[in-house]
């Protein structure tokens, strides 16, 4: 039972950034993407390197306005 719980918790923690990524607002800039907002839960946000196969290259000026509940934002290496 303890082993199963440990595995379950690890899977939940691994899935957390994926859930946050799905709640990004974005727009297409030609062949790239621009993050325009975030409507997800509080906590840590991991910005994906790509969305729908297109590189995320910019973050809008007010993309995270009113997102005081975010504790960190991680961006992919260039």
> What is the pLDDT, as a whole number, of residue 18?
45
Render pLDDT for 21-66 as a digit per residue (tens, 0 to 9): 459 999 999 999 999 999 988 999 999 999 999 999 999 999 999 9
Quote the CA–CA distance of 53 and 42 in Å, as a whole number.
Answer: 26
Domain with 28 in it: 2-74
Q: Write the DSSP assignment of 38-63 as a string of letters.
A: E-S-SEEEE--SEETTEEEEEE-TTT
Total domains, the chain? 1
Total-model pTM? 0.67
Average pLDDT, the chain: 80
């Amino acid at each position: 039972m303890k082993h199963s719980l440990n595995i379950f918790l690890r899977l939940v923690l691994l899935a957390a950034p994926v859930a946050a990524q799905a709640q990004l607002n974005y727009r297409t800039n030609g062949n790239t993407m621009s993050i325009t907002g975030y409507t997800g839960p509080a906590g840590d946000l991991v910005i994906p390197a790509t969305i729908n196969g297109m590189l995320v290259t910019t973050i809008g000026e007010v993309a995270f306005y009113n997102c005081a509940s975010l504790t960190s934002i991680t961006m992919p290496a260039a």
